[in-house]
Structure 1
Amino acid sequence: MTFRLIALDVDGTLLDDDHQLTPRVREAVRAAASNGAEIVLCTGRGSTSALPVLEELGLPGTMITHNGASIVDSATRTVLYETEIAHEPAARYVDYLQARNIHFDINTAFDLYVHELDEFTTEMYRKWFARPILRRPEEGLPEKTVKLSMYAPKEVLDQVELDWAEWVDGLHYVRSGVNFIDVQHPQSTKGKALEKLTGLRGIPREQVLAIGNYYNDIGMLVFAGHGVAMENSPAEVKAEADEVTLSNNEDGVAVVLERLVSYKHPKYISI
């Protein structure tokens, strides 16, 4: 099978646990692009946070960001597609988080807003290449908000999910990491955004390869002609994939690309 589009999750998939792009993974991704595949980062990150990863790969391209809420052209910095969230139902989530002092940010396609910053959250955003903008709570949500994202210890977010389980309000939430929950439009998923992009490109799903590692990746793994889960994925994610590769700390993305796009670097020929 020739894969014309390769969708790659970033954190926990393309990058290792130190948030580094290893030489082998970078080389394999660039080789896949040289062989004619369109490389699409498909991430929960915002656009400004994902762009440095694409630049480190040395590739131009289109990015699916905010778990599918935005599709962005990296060269022109233009938004090709986005799904906004309604302000009224979003206010319920904001009130809940503020009442419990849970840190959250508010995202448009390119900007990330916070109500407050401390030393810890400042360092967190620095690590993710994000540039938060302070916004007073009384200003409400900015225009074209596409995502609310909260960060807290696992046990806190476990309780949040229990509290929100019965909420019916026209929005949906997804666990995008052990310490992250994202609130978005119900049509904002990586799978639906990938379907939208391939429709624009005229690429059948059979010619799409997707690689991811967490719950927010399930939609794209199912949509793709061939979905690959990382070894570091939860069992529920692995169950939805066509195959499981090595972990993000073992160059799992490179192992898949070297095999499926018929690329073998002499240094790794025995693997």
Structure 2
Amino acid sequence: MAYKLVALDVDGTLLNDNHVMTEQTMQTVMEASRQGIEIVLCTGRGPQNTIPFLEEMGLKGYVISHNGAATVEVESRKVVHQFALDHHALKPYMEHCRQQGIHFDINTPFGMYVDQVEALAGPVRYMYEKYLMMPSNLPAWEELDGPVVKFTAFGESKDMDALFQAWSQWTPVYNMLRSGEYFIDLMQEEASKGNALKLLAEQRGYKREEILAIGNYYNDVTMLSYAGLGIAMDNSPVDVKAAADEITLSNNEDGVHAALLKHCLV
């Protein structure tokens, strides 16, 4: 099959555990682009700390950010599609986090907000530095730079397990998913990487069978299931591997390089 669009998750997929894109993987992605394949990064990150990876490779096109909640054109920074959520319903989640001492941030397509930037310290500050994105102080809702597209809770794995279990007992309001071992995301009900990829593919004129997707975590399952060929990294949880059509090497073994070499390069 001649694939025309490749959707790549970023953390745990395109990047190794040191949050670095290796030279081999980068060169292979660039070669796929040179051969006419459109490269789309599909990530839980925002566009500000996703677009630089494409620009580093000299690529344009689109990024699907915030786990599918906002799709952005690289050159113009224009939001071509977004799933805005009802921020009024976030109040009980915010209060619960504050009562339990759980850190959270609120995301618009291009903005990230927390209660007190000046109070960020320890693992929380390190997390933002590692992902190359520092938030701003949360203003009044009407002063945000755009609609809210994602709410993220961050903490130790065991705390996120307990929080996920607790929120699972609440009346469902949002699409709630684990986007990483230390993260829980709340988004609009229809927001997902799979739905965003479907919308972008239709806009770009690609058939489902012309799409290859590679990912490694639960937030990638809808994308892997939608694509004509869904490939899970070897570092994926068992459930994610089960949702994929194929398994490639881990992110520390250039699994993206191996998958593209097998299925896309001529």
Shorter-chain TM-score category?
over 0.9
Which residue number corresponds to residue 137 of structure 2? 134
RMSD (Å) for aligned C-alpha atoms: 1.2
Q: Which runs of 5+ in 2 are unaligned?
A: none
- How far apart are 1:140 and its partner, in Å? 4.3
Which residue number corresponds to residue 167 of structure 1? 170
Partners of 1:35 and 1:214 in 2: CA distance:
28
Partner letter of residue 231 of structure 1? D
State the SS of the aligned residue for 1:231.
coil
Mapping 1:113-128, distance limit 5 Å? 113-117=113-117, 118-120=120-122, 121-128=124-131
Partners of 2:250 and 2:126 in 1: CA distance:
26
1:106 paired with 2:106, answer yes
Mapping 1:203-242, distance limit 5 Å? 203-242=206-245
Of stretches 186-195 and 163-172 in structure 1, the one that deviates more from structure 2 is 163-172
- How far apart are 1:119 and its partner, in Å? 2.7
8 A Cα contact 1:89 1:169, kept in partner: no
TM-score, with normalisation over the residues of structure 2?
Answer: 0.95
Question: How many percent identity over aligned positions?
Answer: 43
1:177 paired with 2:162, answer no
Which residue number corresponds to residue 194 of structure 2? 191
Partners of 1:209 and 1:181 in 2: CA distance:
26
Which residue number corresponds to residue 52 of structure 1? 52
CA offsets, 1:170-215, max 9 Å, x none? 3121000000111100111000000000010111000000000000
- How far apart are 1:166 and its partner, in Å? 2.2
CA offsets, 1:22-50, max 9 Å, x none? 01100110000011110000000011111
Which residue number corresponds to residue 158 of structure 1? 161
Partners of 2:210 and 2:177 in 1: CA distance:
27
Partners of 1:55 and 1:125 in 2: CA distance:
21
Partners of 1:87 and 1:119 in 2: CA distance:
26
CA offsets, 1:33-81, max 9 Å, x none? 0111100000000111112222222211200000000000010011000
Q: Which runs of 5+ in 1 are unaligned?
A: 264-271
State the SS of the aligned residue for 2:92.
helix
Which residue number corresponds to residue 148 of structure 2? 145
- Match of residue 246, structure 2, among 239, 243, 246: 243
Partner letter of residue 69 of structure 1? A
Partners of 2:234 and 2:6 in 1: CA distance:
19
Which residue number corresponds to residue 13 of structure 2? 13
1:27 paired with 2:27, answer yes
Which residue number corresponds to residue 83 of structure 1? 83
- How far apart are 1:127 and its partner, in Å? 1.4
Partners of 1:169 and 1:236 in 2: CA distance:
22
CA offsets, 1:134-191, max 9 Å, x none? 125xx24734000001110001001001101122243121000000111100111000
